[in-house]
Amino acid sequence: MITLDFANAMKECIGEEGLSEEELRGYSERALSALKELAGRRQPETAFLDLPDQDTGGIKETARRIRDGSGAFILLGIGGSALGPRAILEALSPFHNLRKRPRVFIYDNVDPSTLSTILSIAELERSFVNVITKSGSTAETAASFMILYKEMERLLGRDATGRFIATTDPEKGNLREIVRRHGMESLAIPPGVVGRYSVLSPVGLLLAEVIGVDSDELLRGAREARQRCMTEEPWTNPALMLSVLLYIMGTEKGRTIDVLIPYADGLRRLSEWFCQLWAESLGKLGTGFTPYPSVGTTDQHSQLQLWMEGPQDKVIVFLRVDDYGRDLEIPRVFTEMEGISYLSGHTLSELMKAEEESTELALARAGRPNITVGIPAIDAYHLGGLFIFFEIATALTGFLLGVDPFNQPGVEEGKNLTYGMMGKAGFEQKRVEVEAARRRKGGWRI
Ligand code: PA5
């Protein structure tokens, strides 16, 4: 079960910088109305709440075929179409390519050097490509898909199509049209599910099954977490409480930076997934909070100084794991060296947890609010729970802020200018604007 420990956000534990119980209770009504807004399901984009109930039969069938006949599984997508699958891969199958087959490459950029490297090492004739784009029109994904398709066609001729699985909208978009015209295999992202809320759709579940993770277990964890996170009682609902805490800290206390620091290497990518969710969902209409992806203990030696003594503008959200599944004892060597021999006989997980707890306490003593999300273990069940927990908390925070947590109007202008520069019909004026901007910039380069 996911736990939320917020003592170190309260006055009792950290003094003046904390919140009082009265202050927190003062938000109960608003918290409840945000929850009702989500539960009322007026926006179609709340469809992510239904994902835990889906049937995974088709996904499992496709995954079986890929597992049996594949050298590599290449996933093409960007944003919500890549960050979720990557979080699953790194959490549930660390060092995957060194230990297991098929090898997995998740490509979410248009850097020619990376894609060329993947092309040269992936044994393309034996590979499957999962191209993921909800809209079907994302330039980065389209470009890498077109390159992979041409390359596979060169190697396999007409059989190339059978090596692609398109994960996209069930009806709309260029990729769906290609599926129709070329008879490509496809999986559907339900219409209301937007990219950054799609990890528990075929976007993340196909990858999960391909690497041997039971997608039903991810969904079971999500179902149970959903039940708690939709409870109409802030004091027993961890997602609602997290949302209210970060909302008050951000809007009333000037703490607009939210650091997520899991104490587990396997959850580093979950941090990145969360950052997209938090940033793209909340950053609009002049409001929003800045997420920062971190990992413990590593960042104690990189960021902690700033968090302890820098500006009072952050909330640190720890993500604690009780059981790492494996452990290592620190042996009795160099016993004459007092400076390090105290470690002997302890385990690495003991050291990890001691560092995590000490960092929480050190921050608290310095009057720096921090909150701890806990999970018993990193497995499919708890990862599924974390996904929906953070999704619900994000949507609720959006409602508290009065923004639409499901759109991203701010990314359109950059896309349109790129279309203009790349010659897309209808965007000719944008090219003219880019050229004018280049001329204006001319005098300011040294
Ligand atoms: O959350 C979102 O909707 C976006 O970040 C998308 O995931 C991202 O832009 C990729 O979009 P698409 O899946 O349509 O290619």
Residue 404: C-alpha distances to residues 47, 281, 344, 401, 409 (Å): 14, 7, 53, 9, 10
Q: Are residues 13 and 55 in the same domain?
A: no
* Residue 61 domain flag: yes
Q: Is the CB of 141 under 6 A from ligand 1?
A: yes
Query: Is 280 noted as a catalytic residue in this protein?
Result: yes
Q: Are residues 387 and 270 in the same domain?
A: yes
* Residue 199 domain flag: yes
Q: Are residues 67 and 191 in the same domain?
A: yes
* Residue 288 domain flag: yes
Q: Are residues 350 and 384 in the same domain?
A: yes
Q: Are residues 196 and 269 in the same domain?
A: no
Question: Closest ligand 1 atom, CA of 77?
Answer: 15
Residue 290: C-alpha distances to residues 242, 250, 260 (Å): 15, 10, 11
Distance separating alpha carbons of residues 275 and 290, to the nearest angstrom: 8
Query: Is 435 noted as a catalytic residue in this protein?
Result: no
Which of 45, 280, 356, 360 is an active site residue? 280
- What six digits make up the tokens of 194? 């937007």
* Residue 148 domain flag: yes
Using the mean position of ligand 1's atoms as its centre, give its distance from the Cα of residue 215 in Å: 22
- What six digits make up the tokens of 249? 């800290």
Last residue of a domain, one of 170, 201, 216: 216
* Residue 241 domain flag: yes
Q: What is the DSSP letter of 127?
A: -
* Residue 13 domain flag: yes
Query: Is 301 noted as a catalytic residue in this protein?
Result: yes
**Nearest CA owner, ligand 1 atom 3:** 195
Q: Is the CB of 420 under 6 A from ligand 1?
A: no
Q: Are residues 222 and 212 in the same domain?
A: no
Distance separating alpha carbons of residues 9 and 18, to the nearest angstrom: 5
Q: Per the structure, how many domains does the chain have?
A: 2
Distance separating alpha carbons of residues 303 and 375, to the nearest angstrom: 24
Helices (H), 196-337: 202-210, 215-229, 238-252, 268-282, 304-309
Q: Are residues 25 and 54 in the same domain?
A: no
* Residue 414 domain flag: no
**Nearest CA owner, ligand 1 atom 2:** 195
Q: Are residues 28 and 72 in the same domain?
A: no
CATH of the domain at 397: 3.40.50.10490
Q: Are residues 231 and 135 in the same domain?
A: no
Structural domain span for residue 231: 3-39+218-401
What does the radius of gyration of the chain's CA atoms come to, in whole angstroms?
A: 23
Q: Is the CB of 407 under 6 A from ligand 1?
A: no
Distance separating alpha carbons of residues 39 and 55, to the nearest angstrom: 22
Q: Are residues 208 and 225 in the same domain?
A: no
Q: Are residues 269 and 389 in the same domain?
A: yes
Q: What are phi and psi of 334, to 5 degrees?
A: 50, 45
Q: Is the CB of 194 under 6 A from ligand 1?
A: yes
Q: Are residues 266 and 180 in the same domain?
A: no
Cis ω before 297 (30° cut-off from 0): yes
* Residue 424 domain flag: no
Q: Which of 105, 49, 94, 102 is nearest to 379 (CA)?
A: 94
Last residue of a domain, one of 156, 182, 216: 216
Tens-level pLDDT at each residue, the chain (446 residues) = 899 999 999 999 999 999 999 999 999 999 999 999 999 999 999 999 999 999 999 999 999 999 987 789 999 999 999 999 999 999 999 999 999 999 999 999 999 999 999 999 999 999 999 999 999 999 999 999 999 999 999 999 999 999 999 999 999 999 999 999 999 999 999 999 999 999 999 999 999 999 999 999 999 999 999 999 999 988 899 999 999 999 999 999 999 999 999 999 999 999 999 999 999 999 999 999 999 999 999 999 999 999 999 999 999 999 999 999 999 999 999 999 999 999 999 999 999 999 999 999 999 999 999 999 999 999 999 999 999 999 999 999 999 999 999 999 999 899 999 999 999 999 999 999 999 999 998 888 88
Q: Is the CB of 135 under 6 A from ligand 1?
A: yes
Under a CB-based contact definition with an 8 Å cutoff, are residues 136 and 175 in contact? yes
Using the mean position of ligand 1's atoms as its centre, give its distance from the Cα of residue 219 in Å: 22
Place of tokens 């736990």: 3
